[in-house]
Structure 1
Amino acid sequence: MANVTFSKVNKMYGSSRIVSDLDLELPDGSFTVMVGPSGCGKSTSLRMLAGLEPITSGEIKIGERVVTDLEPKDRDIAMVFQNYALYPHLSVRENIAFPLRATKTPRALALKRADEVADSLGLAHLAARKPKDLSGGQQQRVAIGRAIIRQPSVFLFDEPLSNLDAKLRVETRTELLQIQRRLGITSLYVTHDQEEAMTLSDRIIVMREGQIAQQGTPLEVYSRPTSTFVAEFVGSPKMNLIDGGIERGIFTSDSGIRLETQEIGATGLVTLGIRPDDLLISSSPEPTLSLATVELIELLGPRAIVTLRAHDRVLTSVVGAAQLANVREGSIVGLSVRKNSSHLFDQASGSRLP
C-alpha cells in the first residue's frame, strides 16, 4: 500500500490543455473518487497515473518512488476497466490467476491463490465456467479478482460499473467498497456518475476543465459547494439556483422570489442556492419564499420529486410522499426554506460567498 502524489502535472494534446497544474494527494488506504463531466480530465489523470498516457510536465509519485517515466508494468498498480477484457477461452479460475502466471508463478500456486480470491468474491462455485457463461456483474467481479490477486500498491478503476444495469450496479458497487475496505489498498475511481462518487468515496474530487473544482469528503462537498458548478453537479436532483440581489438581509429576484433571513450577510448581486431537500412546500399558501404552482409529481416510494413553477422559475423539491396528501398537480402551494440551509454564490464568478 502507498499514498499517491500528483505535483504540478500537466497534459497537453497539441495546443489543447487537458489537465492543468494538477496537485493531488491520495492518502494511503483511501478510496478517492474523481468525478466530473465528459472532457474534464478525470480519465486522463487516471491514465497518467497508470502510465498509459505520458505527462507533459510535472511529477507523479507512488509512495516515495517517482513513477513518471516508468512503464505501467513497473508501477505496482492494478487497473479495472469499463470493458472487462476477460480471456474468453480461459475459465474464471484461470482468468484470475493469469497475472501471476504472466510473472512465472508456478501454475499450482497461481491456481491455489486464484481459488482463494474467487472464494472471497463469491465466485468459487463459478470457478470452472468461461466468461460467456457469466452475468455482467459476475464478469466484473472476475476482472476485480484479477486485479486483487497481484496485491498491488494502488487500484485504479475506470468507470467499471457503467456497463451494468441499475440493480447490478448497486450490488457490485457495494461489493467493490467492501473489498476495498477489507484490503485497505489505495484506490482511485473515475466516474461521471455523481451518485457513485458520493456513495463509494472517502474523498471526492470534482474536476472541471482539467482542474480540481473542489475536493473533500462527500459530506463536505455536498453541504458546502465552493461554486455554482459544484453545487449543480453534486446532488440529485441538482440544487435550485436563483439569481437576484440582497439588500439589508432580504434576497429578491426579478421573478418575484423573496427570502428574508438572518443567514444572509452579503449584499449586491448574488445567486441563491437551495437543495431540493431543503425547499419545503405547504398546501396552505403562506410562503416565506414564494407561491408556486405544482407542475409535476414523481413518486419514488416514500419520497417524491415535485417540479414547481414560481413566477417564471422552475424549482425542484424533494419531500416525503405523506406530505402530498392535499397536494395535486396544478395546486398552488407555499414555498419556504429549511432554516440554516441556503447557499450564496457571487453572481459574476459563481464562487461561494462566506
Structure 2
Amino acid sequence: MATVTFTDVTKSFGSAGIVHDFNLEMPDGSFTVLVGPSGCGKSTSLRMLAGLEPVTSGTIRIGDRDVTKLEPKDRDIAMVFQNYALYPHLTVEQNIAFPLRAQKVAKKEARERAGLVAETLGLTGALSRKPKDLSGGQQQRVAIGRAIIREPAVFLFDEPLSNLDAKLRVETRTELLRIQRRLGITSLYVTHDQEEAMTLSDRMVVMNGGQIVQQGAPLEVYTKPASTFVATFVGSPKMNLVDGVVADGLFRSTDGLVLPIGSAVPRQPERVTVGFRPEHLVVTSAGRDDVALPPGSTGRVALIEHLGPRAIVAVEAPGCTLVSVVDIAQLDGLDEGAVVSMSVRDGGVHVFDKTTGARIES
C-alpha cells in the first residue's frame, strides 16, 4: 500500500496535448475515481501511472519511489481491464493464480491462495470451470481476483464494469467496493459513468479537456460544483441552468421566467447563470390544459417519466424547459399538459459567471 502522487504531469502525442498540468495525490488506502466525458484524458492518465504510456513531462511517485520511467513490471501495480483479458484455456483457479507463476510461488501455495481469493469473490464453486462457461459478472470477478492475488501497492481499474448489464454492474460495483475497503489497497478507477464515480469514490476527480476541473469528496462535488460543466455532468437528471439576473429573492431570466429563490442568494450586479437541481425545483398544480400559459413563474407539463417512488417532470417554461424530480405522492394535478407554478427550495440555488461558467460563491 502506498500514496500515489502526480506532479505537473503532461502527455502529448506529437503537437496534440492530451493531459495538461495534472496534479493529484491519492492517499494510502484511498479509492480515487477519474470521471469525465470520452476523450478527456482520464484513461491516458491511468495508463501513465501503469507505465503503458510514457510521460511527456512531470513526475509520478508511488510511495517514496519515482516510477515515472520504470517499466510496468517494476511498479508494483495490478490492473483490471474492460475486456477481462482472461486465458480461455485455463480454469478459474489457474487464471486467478497465474500471476504467482511469474513469482515462482510453489504450486500448493498458489492453489491455496487462489482458493482464498475465490472464496472472497464467491467463485469457490466455479474454480474448475473455463471462462467460456462463466457469466460476464463472474468473468469480471475472476479478473479482479487475478489482480488481488498479487497483493500490489496500487490497483488500477479501466472501466471494468462497462460490459455488464445494469443489474450485474450494481452488484459487482458493491462487491468491488467491499473488497477494496477490506484490503485497503490504494485504487484508481476510471469511468465515464458519474453514478459509478459517486458511489465508489473516496475522492472524485472530474476531468474535461485534459485537465482536472474539480476534485473532492463526491457529496462536495455534487453540492458545490465548481463550474457549469461540473454542474451538468455530475447528477442525473442534470442541473437546470438559466441565464438572467438575481434580485430581491427572485430570479428573472432573459426570456421572462420569474422564480422565487429565497433570500439567501444575494443580488448579483450583472447577468449570471443560475442553476438548480431537479430535486430542488418545486412544481405545484396551477390549472388545466385549457388555461393559457401566463408569464412568470408558471409553465406547462410537457412530459412525465415514472421511476417507481419518484417521477421526472419536464416543464415548458418561458424560453426553456426545466426538469423537476417529484415524489409519486405529490403528482396529483401534474398531468401532461397541466399548468404548474414553480419555485426553488431554499439553499438549492447555484450561481455561475455567465462568461466563464465558474462558480460564484454566495
Structure 2 match to 1:263: 264
Structure 1 residues 19-30: aligned runs within 5 Å = 19-30=19-30
* CA shift in 2, pair 1:203/1:289, >3 Å: farther
Q: Does structure 2 conserve the Cα–Cα contact (< 8 Å) formed by 1:11 and 1:56? A: yes
Which of 339, 343, 349 is matched with 1:342 structurally? 349
Letter in 2 for 1:255: D
Give the TM-score of the pair, scaled to structure 1: 0.97
5+ long unaligned stretches in structure 2: 288-293
Q: How far off its partner does 1:247 sit?
A: 4.4
- Contact persistence 2:257–2:319 (CA under 8 A): no
Q: Can you list the C-alpha shifts for 1:3-46, whole angstroms capped at 9, x where unaligned?
A: 10000000001111100011100010000110000110100000
CA pair 31-127 structure 1, distance change in 2 beyond 3 A: same
Pair 1:352 & 2:359 matched: yes
Give the partner amino acid of 2:200: L
Counterpart contact for 1:289–1:336, Cα < 8 Å:
no
Q: Aligned AA for 2:196? A: E
Q: What letter corresponds to residue 343 of structure 1 in structure 2?
A: H
Secondary structure in structure 2 of the residue aligned to 1:85: coil
> Given that residues 280 and 336 in structure 1 are in contact (C-alpha distance below 8 angstroms), is that contact kept between their aligned partners in structure 2?
yes
Match of 2:315 in 1: 308
Name stretches of at least 5 consecutive residues in structure 1 with no aligned partner: none
Q: Indicate the SS of the match to 1:292.
A: strand
Structure-to-structure mapping, 1:72-87, within 5 angstroms? 72-87=72-87
Alignment of 1:1-354 (within 5 A): 1-247=1-247, 250-260=250-260, 261-265=262-266, 266-284=268-286, 290-354=297-361
Q: TM-score, normalised by structure 2?
A: 0.95
Displacement of 1:236 in angstroms is 0.3
1:230 CA drift (Å): 0.2
Could you say which residue in structure 1 is the equivalent of 2:291?
Answer: none
Query: Is this contact kept in 1: 2:203–2:215, CA < 8 A?
Result: yes
Does the aligned pair in 2 maintain the 1:22–1:212 contact within 8 Å? yes
Q: Is the 8 A contact 2:131 2:139 kept in 1?
A: yes
Q: Helix, strand or coil for the counterpart of 1:84?
A: coil
Instruction: Report the Cα offset of residue 252 of structure 1.
Output: 1.1
How many Å separate the matches in 1 of 2:332 and 2:225? Answer: 33
CA contact (8 A) 2:295 2:318 kept: no
Give the SS at the match of 2:196.
helix
What amino acid maps onto 1:166 in structure 2? A
| 3-state SS in 2 of match to 1:161 | coil
Q: Aligned residue pairs: how many?
A: 353
1:333 & 1:246 partners in 2: Cα distance? 22
Q: Give 1:250 shift.
A: 3.9
1:263 Cα deviation (Å)?
2.2
**RMSD of equivalent CA atoms:** 1.4
The alignment-based identity, stated in percent, is: 67
